[in-house]
């Protein structure tokens, strides 16, 4: 994949980038104070009506501002309970109930106001309602602004597995108001930073270098640093998605750190570690295994570990999981094809590769030394 070039020294207060997916392409707008700006919505709302989907935590903070931005439209709203445990079919149905009760037609635009849970559910509702209505993402967590709102994956969980029921449905626009991050718990901000670091590692070395200096500014919510990091992250995700919209190949690189991370999340019980925390440690573990294969220098592993730690993320896996359990958990990962464990590893900082060549004994040794 071609390089993105240097990080610009000064950034405009408001940035716009375009996800290039032909007729399903859409803009991502990033900046402060976008929530209540009518110009952010007017070009993308289809028809006269909108249905805002939010939750009990985010709505009291930001619903009024968003409603002000949407004042030109007839506004409906549905406020769901907060939590990953409500990302299910029963809660999804409440969106359909609201749409039907208010006799919303296909000219209704759904607007997701919240983190990834709300974005995934509102997006899936939009994919299904009357066989598909338009939707706009208004992400309010860092993770949602750099990851879940971009790429068109929507869905809900099933008791048998996370995100097992869903659809690809691209939004009309993503409106990322960085001012909303002021109320986000610090732990959630760190979790989002794990995915930001991931983009640098996959295919953007200049971004990784930049992050090594700028993480304190990001954690302090410095506007210019945030706008730069979010825009660059979205650019990275967007070009990987554009190359592989439905996950046939390239898109798998976005799973860097995630095979290890999923094992941590599942092995410790979902919710104990935040997803981003598990991914942060997963990035370090992927680097360590890459070094063991002779693909990555020890100094690079040290830099990766230091950057992850500076984000306020854990870098060491839980010692409670046996190596047999680790392999078992990693083998149920959806990246297993034809019985071979496929992993995303590093040939350098900014150079991720998908490989099926890993000897399980080497993997076991790498995990054991990470736990020590």
Number of residues that bind ligand NAD (CB under 6 A): 26
- Is-catalytic flag, 195? yes
Compose the 165-204 pattern: x for residues touching ligand NAD by CB under 6 A, - for all others: ---------------x--xx---x----------------
Q: Scan residues 287-306 and list those touching ligand NAD (CB under 6 A).
A: none
Q: Which of 71, 78, 69 is nearest to 112 (CA)?
A: 78
Contacting residue, 137, 148, 236, 290, with ligand NAD by CB under 6 A: 148
For residue 144, state whether it binds ligand NAD (rule: CB under 6 A).
Answer: yes
| Whole-number Å distance between alpha carbons of 89 and 164 | 11
d(CA 71, CA 60): 18
Is residue 30 a known part of a binding site? Answer: no
By beta carbon distance, the residue nearest ligand NAD is: 116
Which one of the listed residues 214, 262, 292, 342 is annotated catalytic? 262
What does 218-239 look like in DSSP terms, one character per residue? HHTT-HHHHHHHHHHHHHHHHH
Q: Which of 49, 87, 214, 232 binds ligand NAD (CB under 6 A)?
A: 87
How many angstroms separate the CA atoms of 111 and 139, rounded? 10
Yes or no: say if 112 and 59 are a contact pair by the CB < 8 Å rule. Answer: no
Closest CA to 30 of 40, 20, 38: 40
Is 161 annotated among the ligand-binding residues? Answer: no
- Residue 54 binds ligand NAD (CB under 6 A): no
Q: Which of 78, 108, 111, 147 binds ligand NAD (CB under 6 A)?
A: 147
| Annotation says 131 is catalytic | yes
Name the residue among 318, 352, 313, 353 with its Cα closest to residue 211: 313
- Compute the distance between CA of residue 4 and CA of residue 207 in angstroms, rounded to an integer: 9
Binder among 30, 40, 70, 117 for ligand NAD (CB under 6 A): 117
Please say which residue, 55 or 228, places its beta carbon nearer to ligand NAD: 55
Could you give the dihedral angle defined by the CA atoms of residues 150, 242, 304 and 226, in that order, rounded to the nearest 10 degrees? -40
Q: Among 17, 24, 75, 82, which residue interacts with ligand NAD (rule: CB under 6 A)? A: 82
Catalytic site includes residue 102 = no
What's the number of CA atoms in the CB half-sphere (13 Å) around residue 103? 0
Q: Closest approach of Cβ 294 to ligand NAD, in Å?
A: 32
Q: Phi, psi at residue 155, to the nearest 5°?
A: 160, -175
Q: What is d(CA 56, CA 77) in angstroms, rounded to the nearest whole number? A: 12
Half-sphere exposure of residue 217: CA atoms within 13 angstroms, side-chain side: 13
74-80 and 49-55 strand pairing: parallel
Round to whole Å and give the CA distance between 317 and 368: 10
Least distance between ligand NAD and beta carbon 84 (Å): 5
Nearest distance, CB of residue 91 and ligand NAD, angstroms: 12
**Residue 93 annotated to the active site:** no
118 among annotated binding-site residues: yes
With beta carbons less than 8 A apart as the criterion, state whether 140 and 55 touch: no
42: annotated active-site residue:
no
Which is the catalytic residue, given 275, 305, 335, 342?
275
Question: Cβ distance 155 to 167 under 8 Å?
Answer: yes
CB of 29 to ligand NAD, least distance (A): 17
Q: Binding of ligand NAD at residue 258 (CB under 6 A)?
A: no
Active site residue 205: no
Provide the minimum distance between the beta carbon of 251 and ligand NAD in the complex, in angstroms, as a whole number.
10
d(CA 88, CA 163): 9
Nearest to 26 by CA among 144, 133, 173, 134: 173
Binder of ligand NAD out of 50, 70, 76, 114 (CB under 6 A): 114
**Known catalytic residues?**
131, 153, 195, 237, 247, 251, 255, 258, 262, 275
Question: Which residues of this chain interact with ligand NAD, rule CB under 6 A?
Answer: 55, 57-58, 61, 82, 84, 87, 114-118, 120, 140-141, 143-144, 147-148, 151, 153, 163, 180, 183-184, 188
> What residues form the annotated binding site for Zn(2+)?
195, 258, 275
> What residues form the annotated binding site for NAD(+)?
82-87, 116-120, 140-141, 153, 162, 180-183
């Amino acid at each position: 994949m071609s390089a993105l070039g240097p990080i610009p020294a000064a950034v405009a207060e408001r940035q716009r980038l375009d996800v290039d997916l032909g007729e399903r392409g859409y803009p991502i707008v990033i900046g402060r104070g976008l929530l209540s700006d009518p110009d952010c919505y007017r070009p993308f709302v289809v028809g006269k009506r909108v249905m805002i989907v939010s939750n009990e935590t985010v709505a009291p903070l930001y619903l009024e501002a968003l409603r002000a931005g949407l004042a030109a439209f007839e506004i409906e709203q549905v406020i769901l309970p907060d939590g990953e445990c409500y990302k299910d079919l029963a809660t999804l149905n409440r969106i359909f109930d609201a749409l039907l009760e208010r006799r919303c037609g296909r000219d209704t635009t759904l607007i997701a106001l919240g983190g990834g849970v709300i974005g995934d559910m509102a997006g899936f509702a939009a994919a299904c309602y009357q066989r598909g209505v338009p939707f706009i993402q208004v992400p309010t967590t860092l993770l949602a602004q750099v990851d879940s709102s971009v790429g068109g994956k929507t869905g809900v969980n099933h008791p048998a597995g996370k995100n097992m029921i869903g659809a690809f449905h691209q939004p009309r626009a993503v409106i990322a108001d960085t001012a909303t991050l002021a109320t986000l718990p610090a732990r959630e901000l760190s979790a989002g930073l794990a995915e930001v670091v991931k983009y640098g590692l996959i295919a953007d070395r200049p971004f990784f270098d930049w992050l090594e200096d700028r993480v304190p500014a990001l954690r302090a919510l410095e506007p210019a640093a945030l706008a730069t990091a979010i825009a660059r992250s979205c650019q990275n995700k967007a070009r990987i998605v554009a190359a592989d919209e439905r996950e046939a190949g390239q898109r798998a690189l976005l799973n860097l750190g995630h095979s290890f991370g999923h094992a941590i999340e599942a092995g410790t019980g979902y919710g104990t570690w935040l997803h981003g925390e598990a991914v942060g440690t997963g990035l370090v573990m992927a680097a360590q295994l890459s070094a063991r294969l002779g693909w990555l220098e020890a100094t690079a592993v040290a830099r990766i570990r230091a950057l992850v730690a500076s984000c306020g993320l854990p870098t060491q896996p839980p010692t409670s999981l046996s190596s047999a359990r680790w392999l078992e958990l990693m083998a149920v990962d959806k990246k297993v094809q034809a019985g071979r464990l496929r992993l995303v590893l590093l040939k350098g900082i900014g150079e991720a590769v998908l490989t099926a060549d890993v000897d399980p004994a080497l993997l076991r040794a790498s995990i054991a030394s990470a736990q020590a």
